[in-house]
Structure 1
């Protein structure tokens, strides 16, 4: 049997076989589901895939970008979360749906909804939970943690509202809600989201 010709080296490109990228994704998906995002490191994913950490960074960039690729989200979550860092606290309830709804309604959003539908119907529900708890909650909860210890639950109330919008508008297609302009929905649910984030709630 003749040996297969070696692939020509590309300057600056880490060496790896043709299935390396998929092997990294498979192991990342498994570790994210088992341990959550926060407790899963790039190094542990690289070790499980039998590659160097630099190769994981080469293919996927940050851990958040790798997670997005692992669950087939066609956007880096931080492109949504980073703008929220500059949003005043008393405007978060309006800005959050104002960012998300146009995104969900876009062509890119079709992929997001398809991914969510697949995850909710399959065995990877822990990945959705990890994303909500360790990415969304970790980003927003410290800002709304008043009284101390309430931030995590406040964000989960917000998540429940937004997941409900996704279910009614995109998955069930509940009319006329499904056909409303995104800005109308954002404006309507904003006061409720803001109340969850900053108002006094019966949290105990």
Structure 2
């Protein structure tokens, strides 16, 4: 009879899903450094060995939680590269990264701490998915003669990232300073406004002659 490895679950088990659900709740409520694997295991009705078996470490579990949360957004960036309009890219991003979503609250927490594995996830898994889409959009505008060639591509990328991420990462400040409620309706209006603004800027003086 083949010997079972220590800590390996027998038969079909939903413990992995329970660990992910518990970790998702813990990381939503508290910063990464304040959450312990013991707390997660207890909430999931499991033990530390199962976290190690399924995810390797606390960081591995955290990355798995972020991956699950970001899957709808990630799918957008992986598909139809170069075919989505600026309006589609921005509105979809705002919908998935809704201010009251688990994804937004978890990533906001991750980005607020310098040494956090969530920062690497945002850079490597999300932003690196977005930039090729934006670059393709710029190439299409250039090919059609609609792009203001005086614009710096590097600065365009920076503006694009600000457009996508800043309203979501600074929700609390915006609501406090401007007295707005960044709900689904407001984000839809903001997406339309920002798209009109950046589209005019991309085309520059070509619109005025």
- The correspondence for 2:109, drawn from 118, 121, 134, is 118
Aligned residues of 1:168 and 1:177 also touching (Cα < 8 A): no
Q: Give the Å deviation of 1:78.
A: 2.9
Question: Separation in 2 of the partners of 1:172 and 1:20?
Answer: 42
- The correspondence for 2:54, drawn from 21, 25, 29, is 21
The equivalent residue for 1:37 is none
Question: Separation in 1 of the partners of 2:81 and 2:172?
Answer: 24
In structure 1, list runs of 5 or more residues that go unmatched: 11-16, 30-66
Count residues with an aligned counterpart: 148
1:127-158 CA-partner distances (Å, limit 9, x unpaired): 433345522113331441445x9545423211
Equivalent residue runs for 1:117-156 within 5 Å = 117-122=108-113, 123-124=115-116, 125-131=119-125, 133-145=127-139, 146=142, 151-156=153-158
Q: TM-score, normalised by structure 2?
A: 0.52
- The correspondence for 2:163, drawn from 161, 164, 169, is 161
1:143-176 CA-partner distances (Å, limit 9, x unpaired): 41445x9545423211112222113435653422
Aligned residues of 2:94 and 2:164 also touching (Cα < 8 A): no
Larger radius of gyration: 2
1:40-78 CA-partner distances (Å, limit 9, x unpaired): xxxxxxxxxxxxxxxxxxxxxxxxxxx6x3645513133
Q: Does 1:96 align with 2:89?
A: yes
Secondary structure in 2 aligned to 1:86?
coil
Aligned Cα root-mean-square deviation (Å): 3.9
Question: Separation in 2 of the partners of 1:28 and 1:172?
Answer: 32
In structure 2, list runs of 5 or more residues that go unmatched: 13-48, 143-148
The equivalent residue for 2:43 is none
Question: Separation in 2 of the partners of 1:5 and 1:141?
Answer: 47
